[in-house]
Amino acid sequence: MFSELVDVKENNIISIDYEILSILLKDHTTKKNIIWATNMYERYGSSYSFKSQITIEQITGRNGQVIRPRIKKSKKEQEQRIKKKAEVFTPSWICNIQNNLADNSWFQKENVFNKPDGVKWITNRNKILFPEGRSWVDYVKSLRLEISCGEAPYLVSRYDTVTGNSIPVINRIGLLDRKIRIVSENTRSKDDWIKYVKEAYKSIYGYEWQGDSLLIARENLLYTYIDYYVDKFNEKPQIDTIKEIAEIISWNIFQMDGLKYVIPNSCKNETIINYTLFGEEKETFECIGCQTNNYHNHNGIYVKIMNWETNRANKFINVLGRRK
Ligand SMILES: C[S@@+](CC[C@H](N)C(=O)[O-])C[C@H]1O[C@@H](n2cnc3c(N)ncnc32)[C@H](O)[C@@H]1O
């Protein structure tokens, strides 16, 4: 159960619990499923078009081979995705160096979790100590966002998205990996561990345009939970808790055009009919936000994210604050 390290099989998820996969496909903005947002699956039929929702039936049919991580896609497909959406993933050793920079600043100390060593790193196996005035809970709750997250290699690192090599739990370098490690080092009971790991998931955000990569990112975050639970307690976690984690992930790892803050390609042309002496005249306008490049004037669907402190959803653009 939940043992695949690189290519998560959607069929395996539904054989354990159908609802988990349906939660991972949710879009909380549209209250439907996430959409494909790419034309690359249209060869399977019209229901796989750009604006179609991704369904469980689609991704569990064809032996569950429809959605594969970039490393398992054909070279031709990889090249098309580079051209269309600049899809080039960052190797784990670079994610690690950049994540270390964020932590150097938070801890006011260098290389707290590991020491980079060329294209590898040497993990610090001692318990992580915290600077004066900052606690491990502060670290777990501090907010992080991976923009255009692809398969989310800055957040979790079950495998290197470039080489496809799996990475053992102790050597993981993602921003969420680090937080879960901290929870494992500072809690004993299952209840406490689960409580703070949920806080860690609530503090991690990521958005992505393409639906397939987004689902893979969500799966990677979910399997990360299971990996760390097994590592800590030497048994599998409860299905109900897995569903609660999946629900948080489905809010925090979301589908968005990061240049417009709306659901990809949801802006539309608008037609106005003018009634004149000579009959009807139709005028069609492009979305004003798209025309003028102003984030605030799109007529597409602005994406909502959850504020877990207030338990209220808010538009992502409002969280950013007003700017032109
Ligand atoms: C260069 S990859 C980086 C992925 C990942 N963050 C990494 O470092 O490996 C860029 C990703 O941005 C996504 N992307 C491209 N344009 C986007 C947009 N306007 N909004 C959100 N995501 C976008 C692509 O689908 C792709 O997954």
Average pLDDT over residues 272-281: 83
Nearest-CA residue for atom 6 of ligand 1: 149
62 has pLDDT over 90: no
- The pLDDT confidence band at residue 322, using thresholds 50, 70 and 90, is low
**pLDDT bracket for residue 215 (50, 70, 90):** very high
Q: Cα 70 from chain centroid?
A: 15
The predicted structure's pLDDT at residue 288: 95
Average pLDDT over residues 49-72: 90
User: Is the CB of residue 250 below 6 angstroms from any atom belonging to ligand 1?
Assistant: no
Provide the pLDDT for residue 324: 46
- On the question of pLDDT at 323 being above 70, the answer is no
How many CA atoms, within 13 angstroms, populate the side-chain half-sphere of residue 84?
12
Is the predicted pLDDT of residue 277 greater than 50, yes or no? yes
- What amino acid occupies position 194? I
Q: Which of 36, 85, 95, 151 to mutate to test the pocket of ligand 1 (most atoms within 8 A of CB)?
A: 85
Cα torsion 116, 121, 127, 133: sign: positive
For residue 276, how far is its CA from the centre of ligand 1 (angstroms)? 47
Provide the pairing of β-strand 279-285 with 270-276. antiparallel
Mutation to probe ligand 1, out of 98, 208, 262, 293 (largest number of atoms < 8 A from CB)? 208
Cβ of 265 below 6 Å from ligand 1: no
Ligand 1 centroid from CA 95, angstroms: 14
The answer to whether the CB of 88 is under 6 A from ligand 1 is yes
What are the residues facing 122 on neighbouring strands?
A: 115
Q: Is the pLDDT of residue 174 over 80?
A: yes
Rounded Cα distance between 298 and 267, Å, is 6
C-beta of 254 in contact with ligand 1 (< 6 A): no
User: Domain locations in the chain?
Assistant: 10-73, 92-255, 270-320
Protein residue whose Cα sits closest to atom 8 of ligand 1: 90
95 Cα nearest atom in ligand 1: 8
Q: Mean pLDDT across the chain, nearest whole number?
A: 94
Residues 6+ apart with CB under 8 A from 288: 294, 297, 298, 299
Tell me how far the alpha carbon of residue 150 lies from the centroid of ligand 1, in angstroms.
Answer: 5
Question: How large is the average pLDDT for residues 45-53?
Answer: 96
**Residue of minimum CA distance from atom 16 in ligand 1:** 85
At residue 173, does pLDDT exceed 90? yes
Q: Separation of 217 CA from ligand 1 center, angstroms?
A: 12
pLDDT tens column, 111-123? 999 999 999 999 9
Q: Which residues contact 197 (CB under 8 A, 6 or more apart)?
A: 180, 183, 225, 228, 245
Least confident window among 210-219, 258-267, 282-291, 293-302: 282-291
pLDDT at 292: 95
**Percentage of the residues of the chain whose pLDDT score is greater than 90:** 79
| The pLDDT of residue 125 is above 60 | yes
Enter the pTM of the model: 0.95
